[in-house]
Amino acid sequence: MPSTSTYYKIFALLMILAFATTAIAFIDLGIFNPIVAMAIAVTKATLVVLFFMHVRYQGRLTFVFAIAGFCWLVILLLLISTDYLTRGWLPIPGAIPPMGF
């Protein structure tokens, strides 16, 4: 089990990453804004799962189920993104077609 100082260090790191998330929202990085924000969010989520949910200090089966949950999340996000990215492929019924200039 981790010591109390480990929890304080992880909490401090989470606070730094939370401020980094807020700061990055005010900086224009162009297309990299969502990428950086997601990287920070994934880092924060990983720290919470590993330390505060004790996945790091439990057996392998707990770790396997945690990884399976993340894999399921990735599958769901991929399915959602395929729906979102292909919405413009078919015409909308009843919509006015664009002018062919």
Summarised one tens digit per residue, pLDDT across range 74-89 is 999 999 999 888 877 7
Tell whether the model's pLDDT for residue 2 goes beyond 80: no
| pLDDT reported for residue 89 | 76
Summarised one tens digit per residue, pLDDT across range 20-56 is 999 999 999 999 999 999 999 999 999 999 999 888 8
b (16+ CB within 10 A) / e for 56-72: eeeeeeeeeebeeeeee
64 band by pLDDT with thresholds 50, 70 and 90: very high
| pLDDT reported for residue 6 | 92
**Which of 3-12, 13-22, 46-55, 91-100 bottoms out in mean pLDDT, i.e. has the lowest?**
91-100
Place of tokens 């200039």: 101
CA distance 63 to 55: 6
